[in-house]
Structure 1
C-alpha cells in the first residue's frame, strides 16, 4: 500500500486528480448558469456531468501511465518482471478507484440537484409562489389554478378551426364549473398561441400554476385530440392523453379531460359537479357540429350579419336535436341580443314586435324546460326580465342562477353592474364585482363595471 501511494505521488496523480476536480466543478457551475440563457434542453447539463464523471478515472490512468517532460509527453517506465506486473495492478486499481469516486460524485450531485418529478413538483411550485409573494404585493398563485390555451388545429382543412376552438371552449367551460379550481377566462387566454415558447412567462402573466395545451385533428368522421397539462413554473409535463374518437362519440371527451385534470390537481368534485361536467350535451354529431360552428362565430366575429349566421347554426342544431338544451340556450341568448342591439331593417315592423320581450321570455322558458338548472340560461333570462321592467322577477332569477353557479364571473358582474348598479345599490354591486375579481383578476368586464360603480358613487 505504501508503495502504491508513493507511486501516486511520484507520478503526480494527486495533482491531476485535484486539478481535474476543480476544472470539472467550474465547468458545471458555468454550464448551469449559461445554458438556460441559450434555452438549451434540460438533458444537456446532466449529460455534461456524466461525461466529466467518466473522464475522471480516464484522467487518473493517463496521469499514471504518462509523464509531462520538457521534451513532451512520455510514457512512464513500468519496470520489468514483478515490478511491471505490480504497476499494472496498481493502474487497474487506480482506474477502479477513480470510477468509484466519479460515481459517488455524480450520485451526490444528482441527489441534491435531482430533476423535478410529479412528487416534487408541488414543493417547487410552492417555492415559486413564496418567492413571488415575498418579492412584492400581489396574490399568491394557487396550485389549483389553470389556464386553457387555444387548441391547435392540425386538420388539413383550415375550415375545421371552429372544431378545435369548440373543443377547447367546452373543456374550459367544464373546468370553470369546479369550485376547487381557479380557471382563467377565455378572453385572457385567446391572445396566446397554442404552444408558446416561454410557459413560465405565460403562467406568470396569467397568474396560474398550470397550463393546458392541446391540438385537434378532424378527418372525415373521426377526431384525434391531444391534451397535456404542464406546470408553468418548471415546464414539467404532469399529465397527457390522446383521444381517438368517431364524431358520434366525441361528446364525452371534454368531460373526461376535465375530470382527469381535477384528479391531477387534487381538486375534489362534488356529486353535482361531476354530473355537470360529464353530462353529454347531445348524442347527435351533426347537431353538435352545428353548435360548435355557432360558438366559433359568436366568439370571433362581431356584428349583425355574423350573429345572424350564428343564430342559423344554433337553429340548425336544435332542429336536428330538439332536446339539445345548450343549443336552445345559445339560440335564445343570441336572438335576444339581436333584438336588444340592432335595428330591424324592415321599416314596416311594428315597434311592439321589436320590443317583444314576452316572446323572448317564452323562448328562454322553452330552453329552460330542457335545461332547468343552467345558470347561464337563467342569467340571460333575468336580463330579459329586467329589460321588460320586471325587476323583482329579474332579481329572483339572478339569485337562483347565482345559487347554481356562484363562481360565474359574467353572472357576478352582470348582477352587480347591470342590476344593483342601476338600482344604485352600490354596496351590493361592489360586493358582487369584487367577488368576480377574486375569481378572475384579469376580467376586463369586471374591472370596467367596478370603475363605473365607483364613478357613480363619486369616488373616481
Structure 2
C-alpha cells in the first residue's frame, strides 16, 4: 500500500485486499477480505466506487450491463465463488450486498483487524461494536431493484464522505489508474495460465434473511382491503373446487367471474395477470367484471406429483402464500410487501375450511427463483398463491394469482389499483362485493372476523401503515434472541408507542420486548419483566380482545409465573382465534408442556410443524423437550438436531442434546454436546440454567435433567 493512501477517510487497498475507514471520533476500521470469495466482494465494492468516480457522482450502478466484466472478476480473483448452483452471479452479489456485507457484528465476508470476537449470553462469537459503528457501516450498502436488475451504491454520502475522499489503491497507483492496473493484472494472469488448475472451492452458503419467529400478525389497516379481497376469492375458489362434482361439467362462466390461464411464474418474475373490472354504474372506484369463456390450454410447466410430496395432502384445501414480490424498485418497500403477504396468510388461516401453511415456511422462499411445483411438493399443498406489490406515494397496485399445482394452471388472477387514502371507506364494500360474487358461505364467526376493525380504529391514514411496519421491525429483532437485538427492539417499540399511543400494536410490541428481556435476564429484574409484559398484554386485549398474539404472550408469561390454568386458558383462546396459526398451536403446546401435560402437548407441536414444514428453531427445540420428558429419547435427539440445523448456535438445543444423550447412556455424544455449550458460553452454569427451568410444574423431572447435564460434564 502506498504511503499516502491512509490520508483518505476510506481506502480500498487491492494490494492486500483490505478496506480502511477512518472517521474522526466516529469509527476506525480495517477489514481484511482474506479468501478468494471475500476478495471478489471487495473487488465488487471497488468496482462500484470506480464507476461512481467515472460518472463523477455518488449514484447507483446497474450490474446487468457489466455482467461479463463481473464474471471475469469471479473467475479470476474470486475463484468462481461468486456464483452457485442455485443462484446466478448477479443474484449472488445482490444477496451478499443486501445481507452479508452490511453485517459488521458477525462479519461473514471479512475479518476485522484489531478486534476480537467475543461470546455474549450464549449467542455465539460476535465483534463488539457500538450501535453507531454498526449503523455507519451498514448504511454504506444501498441497492435498488433485485437479482439480475439490481443497482448498487456504496453510499459514502450518507456518512459525510465525498468521492474525492475515497481512494482505490493498487501497486503505486490510485483511483482510475489503480483500477485499470488491477484489471490488467487479472487479464494478464489469466492468459499466462497454460493449463487451468481445477481447484475445489467450497462456496460460502447463501445468506438468507432470518425468518421472524414466534408471532402471528393481525389486521393491517393500510391494505386490509386487499387481504380481504384475496381471502374471500381464494377461500371460495378452493372450497368450490374441493366439493364440486368430479365428472366434467359444461362450463358456464357468470358475469361475476373470469377464468384466467397463464404460464406458471417463478418468484423472480411476476407477470401482471388479467385485470378484473366491475361494470357497476354507481361504483367507479371498483374494478369492472368481464364475462368470458376460456378453454384452459395444457400446462406449460411440469405439474406437482402427489407421490413426491414431503407430506400427504390434507383433507382440506391446502394453500401456501409465497412472499409477494416488491415491484416498486425501492428496497424500502420490502417491509410493506412482506406485510401484505403476512396479512393474507393470517386471514386465510382463520377460515376453518382451509389448510394454510405458515409464513415461516413460505418466507423461506423469499428472493429465490422457485417453481410452484417445488413449493407444492416440499410443503405438501395443492394451491399456491403468488403476486406482487407496487407502491408509489399514496398509490398502490397489487397483483395476485392462485395456481393449482396438480394441474399447473392459474385458476384465478386479479389486479387492483387503489389510493391508500380511500382504503378505509372501500375495504368492507369491496370485501362484501367479492364474497357475493364468488358465493362464499362463511360461518357467523368468520363473517365477524372479516368485518372486525383492529388498530385502524385508533390511527389514521399513513400513520397506521408506518405504525404497523415499525411493529414488524420490533418482531424481527425480538426473534433474534440476543441482547443487542432486544435493545433495538425496545427502542423501536418505544417509537411505536410515540407514533400510535392508542393502538394495540404499540403495547403488544413493548409486551413482547418485556418477554424477551425476561428470557435473556436483561431487564431490571425477571419479576418486573413478567409483570410489565402482562400489563401490556392486558392493555392490548382491553382495546381488542380478538388479537391472538396478545393471548399467546399472556400464555407464556403466566407459565413463567407457574399460573398454569391461566396460561392454558389464554393459549386456548389464541387457538380459537387463530386455529390455523402455527405459533398459536406452538404456544398452546408449550403451555401444556410447562404444566406437566407433555403427552397432550405433542400433537399440538406436530400440528404446528405441519403448518410450518420448514419450521423454526423454537418449534423443534420445545418439541424436543416434550419428547424427552415423555421418554421418547431418539425422537427428541432428532428434534434437537433439526433445531440446530435452523440455528447452529441455539445453545438451548445443545443443552437438550447433552441431557438427552446422557439419559440414554451415550456419554461420548453427551460430552461433545456439553463442549458445544461451553464453546458458545464459557460461563454457562447449571445453577443459572436451573432458574430458567423454574416454569416447569414437574420439578422432579427437571432435577433429573439437571443431573443428566452434570453427568455430561457441565457444572
The verdict on how the C-alpha distance between 1:245 and 1:293 changes in structure 2, with shifts beyond 3 A counting, is farther
- The question of whether the paired residues in 1 share the 8 Å contact of 2:575 and 2:588 is answered with no
The verdict on how the C-alpha distance between 1:270 and 1:420 changes in structure 2, with shifts beyond 3 A counting, is same
The verdict on how the C-alpha distance between 1:327 and 1:178 changes in structure 2, with shifts beyond 3 A counting, is farther
The verdict on how the C-alpha distance between 1:321 and 1:290 changes in structure 2, with shifts beyond 3 A counting, is closer
The match for 1:290 among 467, 475, 478 is 467
The match for 1:332 among 481, 494, 511 is 511
**Partner Cα distance (2:576, 2:605) in 1:** 16
**Partner Cα distance (2:433, 2:487) in 1:** 37
Where in structure 2 are the equivalents of 1:196-215 lying within 5 Å? 196-215=369-388
Higher CA-based Rg: 1
The verdict on how the C-alpha distance between 1:297 and 1:319 changes in structure 2, with shifts beyond 3 A counting, is closer
Please say if 1:420 is aligned against 2:597.
no
Where in structure 2 are the equivalents of 1:129-168 lying within 5 Å? 132=306, 139-140=312-313, 144-168=317-341
The verdict on how the C-alpha distance between 1:182 and 1:253 changes in structure 2, with shifts beyond 3 A counting, is farther
| Higher mean displacement: 421-430 or 138-147 | 138-147
1:368 deviation in Å?
0.8
Q: Deviations over 1:169-192 (max 9, x none)?
A: 112111111121111111111121
**Partner Cα distance (1:399, 1:248) in 2:** 37
Q: Deviations over 1:74-98 (max 9, x none)?
A: xxxxxxxxxxxxxxxxxxxxxxxxx
**Partner Cα distance (1:260, 1:208) in 2:** 28
**Partner Cα distance (2:509, 2:528) in 1:** 20
**Partner Cα distance (1:194, 1:251) in 2:** 31
Unaligned runs of 5+ in 2: 1-259, 263-292, 634-715
1:377 deviation in Å?
0.9
Please say if 1:432 is aligned against 2:604.
yes
Corresponding position of 2:446: 273
Corresponding position of 1:192: 365
The verdict on how the C-alpha distance between 1:280 and 1:248 changes in structure 2, with shifts beyond 3 A counting, is farther
1:279 deviation in Å?
3.5
The match for 2:522 among 312, 329, 343 is 343
1:293 deviation in Å?
3.2
**Partner Cα distance (1:402, 1:438) in 2:** 15
The verdict on how the C-alpha distance between 1:271 and 1:313 changes in structure 2, with shifts beyond 3 A counting, is farther
- The question of whether the paired residues in 1 share the 8 Å contact of 2:358 and 2:581 is answered with no
Q: Deviations over 1:324-370 (max 9, x none)?
A: 224432332233223432525xxxx5x37x63422222211111100
- The question of whether the paired residues in 2 share the 8 Å contact of 1:174 and 1:255 is answered with no
The verdict on how the C-alpha distance between 1:438 and 1:371 changes in structure 2, with shifts beyond 3 A counting, is same
- The question of whether the paired residues in 1 share the 8 Å contact of 2:317 and 2:382 is answered with yes
Q: Which has the higher contact order (CA 8 A, sep 6+)?
A: 2
- Helix, strand or coil: the match of 1:275? helix
Root mean square deviation of aligned Cα: 3.8
Corresponding position of 1:237: 410
- Helix, strand or coil: the match of 1:389? coil
**Partner Cα distance (1:412, 1:231) in 2:** 27
The match for 2:545 among 351, 357, 372 is 372
**Partner Cα distance (1:261, 1:304) in 2:** 46
Q: Which has more helix, going by share of residues?
A: 1
Corresponding position of 1:31: none
**Partner Cα distance (2:422, 2:609) in 1:** 37
Q: Deviations over 1:387-433 (max 9, x none)?
A: 123223222322333333333322222222x3322333222112332
The match for 2:575 among 402, 408, 420 is 402
Q: Deviations over 1:14-40 (max 9, x none)?
A: xxxxxxxxxxxxxxxxxxxxxxxxxxx
- Using structure 2 for the length normalisation, give the TM-score: 0.41
The verdict on how the C-alpha distance between 1:259 and 1:411 changes in structure 2, with shifts beyond 3 A counting, is farther
**Partner Cα distance (2:604, 2:334) in 1:** 36
- Using structure 1 for the length normalisation, give the TM-score: 0.61
| Higher mean displacement: 149-158 or 256-265 | 256-265
The match for 1:219 among 392, 398, 421 is 392
**Partner Cα distance (1:428, 1:171) in 2:** 30
| Higher mean displacement: 205-214 or 406-415 | 406-415
**Partner Cα distance (2:312, 2:593) in 1:** 27
Where in structure 2 are the equivalents of 1:285-324 lying within 5 Å? 285-296=462-473, 298-299=475-476, 302=480, 303-324=482-503
1:297 deviation in Å?
5.4
**Partner Cα distance (2:529, 2:367) in 1:** 43
